[in-house]
Amino acid sequence: MNKIKVNFEKMYYGFPVFLVSYYDKEGNPNVTTISSSYSLRDMVALGFSSKGYAINQIKEVSDFVINIADSKLLDEIEFCGKNTGSECKKFEHLNLTHVPSTTINAPIIKECPISIECTLTDVIESQNYSGITNILALIKGRLVDESYLDEKGNLKVSAFDNILYIRDGVNRGFRYMKKEQ
């Protein structure tokens, strides 16, 4: 293997793409696309552009839901990533159904097979990473469509058809986890 040093603006090497839903400070449901995350036990970390409407609302309202979409929702993911919640109420433009969580004060997206209910605990902003806001949140609940569970209630990994995001600063693309038949 011959490796060549590159100078990409960024390098996303296949992160899961998901929809983050929340109520803004006026109580309107909204949603954005995110691809920077990791979770460990009951903690999740997300990365946002500091200027984004969603992160500034979440910093005020605290509760949000991570909704794992499947490949059927690629158009919705693209729309939510390209449009800002400050200019449009995205749910009004999409065939997505928001339903209130019974655990936190945030909407769940019915069409997404997995929803993770979260409450903000920490906001991390540093001069070393200007324009980036990282947050930590406590996972308060996990909801999984029954088709993603086996007869014992465990995840059926073979049912996953989620979307991965890849980008180098110029080119971007999506890949899908292959569903086993």
Secondary structure (3-state) at 68: strand
Range(s) of the domain holding residue 21: 12-175
The confidence score (pLDDT) of residue 123 equals 98
Going by pLDDT thresholds of 50, 70 and 90, the confidence category of residue 178 is low
- Residue 76 in any domain: the answer is yes
Domain annotation covers residue 7: no
pLDDT at 181 over 60: no
For residue 181, being part of any structural domain is answered with no
Hey, what are 150's tokens?
């086996």
Question: How is residue 139 written in tokens?
Answer: 């996972």
pLDDT band at 177 (very low <50, low <70, confident <90, very high): low
Helix (H, G, I), strand (E, B) or coil at 123: strand
Vertex 87, ends 169 and 37: CA angle to 5°? 45
According to the model, what pLDDT value does residue 14 have?
Answer: 67
Position 180 in a domain? no
16 falls within a domain = yes
More confident residue, 76 or 172: 76
Q: What is the reported pLDDT for 103?
A: 97
In a domain, 146, yes or no: yes
- 108/23 Cα distance (integer angstroms): 10
| CA R_g for the chain | 17
Q: Which of 145, 19, 16, 158 is nearest to 75 (CA)?
A: 19
State the DSSP code for 87. Answer: T
- CATH code, domain carrying 16: 2.30.110.10
Q: What are phi and psi of 156, to 5 degrees?
A: -95, 95
CA separation for the pair 99, 89 (Å, rounded)? 15
The 10s digit of each residue's pLDDT in 98-133 is 999 999 999 999 999 999 999 999 999 999 999 999
β partners of residue 45: 38, 136
Domain membership flag for residue 144: yes
> Per the structure, how many domains does the chain have?
1
| Contact predicate 160/18, CB 8 Å | no
pLDDT in tens, 22-77: 999 999 999 999 989 999 999 999 999 999 999 999 999 999 999 999 989 988 98
Residue 104 belongs to a domain: yes
**Which residues, in sequence order, are bridge partners of residue 172?**
167
